């Protein structure tokens, strides 16, 4: 998941790393193994600047004012979904009444992954901050909010319904994504993520890939004397429309860092 990035004709070494938005003992080991690479840089860019989280950002996760989750379904269907959610995930949907379905699905994914403590993104960001490395985000807070607000509510409702009506499939897909991450399978993560996003893959994946890739290019052009560590979700790395492919088309050199390996003691 760690790649060397360089500009043709420059001796500056930069890095791109694909993160996972989860936390736990395995993730902590990965974070530790990356710290020496972050320390070689003087600029750190995550997907977004987590120091700039605002109330507006938090509000983007919430249902529109005057509505709750159960309003998206018939009473009978909601009752069935909640029964399944409580049985297989120990999640009472009534307690998530104000959360948009897309983020309820995300919560279910975290449960499958046994997420705990700080996510890998946050751990790396905090390390950069603690070492006085300049930090920022490849996407602005406003962009993140717009994305969260742009996913049609009926499509979100269907995503949650599909996850709960097909629990075994949902858990299998989530487990395969996590397995792919810890075995360093970039293309597997891309393909599984693209499939799971369905009709919102352009909004959530392709468009964001282009935004982040263009921002990286601009930063490298305007800061030739700086070394960067870029990190964002691993699903954005692979594929013909992925960040790596985009950068290569712009004649940047992107090579897998063969000196870094997923820590061998993850089991």
**What are the pLDDT digits (tens) for 199-214?**
889 999 999 999 999 9
In a domain, 266, yes or no: no
CA dist., res. 90 & res. 160, Å (int): 15
Give the pLDDT score at 95: 96
CA dist., res. 76 & res. 12, Å (int): 60
Give the HSE-up count for residue 237: Cα atoms under 13 Å, Cβ half-sphere. 28
> Domain total for the chain?
1
CB 107 within 8 A of CB 85: no
> Alpha helix (H) ranges present in the chain?
25-39, 55-59, 75-89, 101-112, 120-130, 141-150, 153-165, 167-182, 186-197, 201, 207-222, 243-249
CA dist., res. 63 & res. 40, Å (int): 42
CB 187 within 8 A of CB 239: yes
56-95 per-residue burial string, b: 16 or more CB within 10 A, e: under 16: ebeebeebeeeeebbebbeeeebeebbebbeebbebebee
Give the pLDDT score at 56: 67
Q: What angle do CA 260, 257, 188 make, to 5 degrees?
A: 90
- Which tokens is 215 given? 């921002």
In a domain, 28, yes or no: yes
In a domain, 184, yes or no: yes
CA dist., res. 22 & res. 31, Å (int): 12
- Which tokens is 191 given? 């393909």
CA dist., res. 18 & res. 135, Å (int): 17
Q: What is the DSSP letter of 48?
A: S
In a domain, 262, yes or no: no
Q: Which residues pair with 58 in a beta bridge?
A: none
CA dist., res. 189 & res. 154, Å (int): 26
Give the pLDDT score at 60: 83
**In a 3-state reduction of DSSP, which class is residue 53?**
coil
Residue where the block lists tokens 């891309």? 190
Listed as ranges, residues in the chain with pLDDT below 50 are none
CB 123 within 8 A of CB 130: no
In a domain, 222, yes or no: yes
Residue 28's domain comprises 2-256
In a domain, 208, yes or no: yes
In a domain, 261, yes or no: no
Give the pLDDT score at 13: 95
Residue where the block lists tokens 């790596």? 244
Give the pLDDT score at 54: 60
In a domain, 62, yes or no: yes
Its pTM stands at 0.90
Give the pLDDT score at 266: 59
């Amino acid at each position: 998941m760690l790649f060397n990035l360089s500009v043709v004709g420059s001796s500056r070494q930069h890095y791109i790393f694909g993160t996972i938005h989860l936390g736990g003992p395995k993730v902590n080991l990965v974070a530790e193994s990356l710290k020496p690479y972050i320390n070689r840089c003087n600029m750190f860019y995550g997907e977004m600047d987590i120091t700039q989280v605002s109330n507006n950002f938090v509000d983007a996760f919430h249902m529109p004012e005057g509505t709750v989750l159960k309003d998206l379904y018939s009473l009978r269907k909601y009752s069935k979904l909640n029964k399944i959610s409580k049985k297989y995930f120990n999640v009472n949907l009534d307690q998530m009444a104000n959360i948009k379905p897309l983020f309820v699905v995300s919560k279910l994914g975290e449960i499958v992954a046994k997420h705990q403590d700080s996510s890998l993104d946050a751990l790396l960001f905090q390390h950069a901050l603690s070492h006085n490395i300049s930090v920022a985000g490849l996407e602005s807070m406003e962009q993140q909010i717009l994305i969260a607000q742009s996913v049609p509510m009926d499509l979100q409702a269907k995503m949650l319904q599909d996850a709960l009506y097909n629990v075994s499939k949902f858990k299998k897909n989530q487990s395969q994504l996590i397995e792919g991450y810890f075995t360093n399978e970039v293309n597997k993560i891309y393909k599984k993520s693209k499939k799971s996003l369905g009709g919102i893959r352009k909004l959530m994946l392709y468009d964001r890939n282009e935004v982040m890739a263009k921002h990286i290019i601009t930063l490298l052009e305007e800061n030739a004397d700086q070394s960067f560590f870029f990190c964002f979700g691993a699903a954005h790395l692979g594929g013909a429309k992925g960040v790596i492919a985009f950068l290569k088309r712009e004649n940047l050199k992107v090579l897998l860092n063969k000196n870094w390996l997923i820590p061998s003691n993850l089991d």
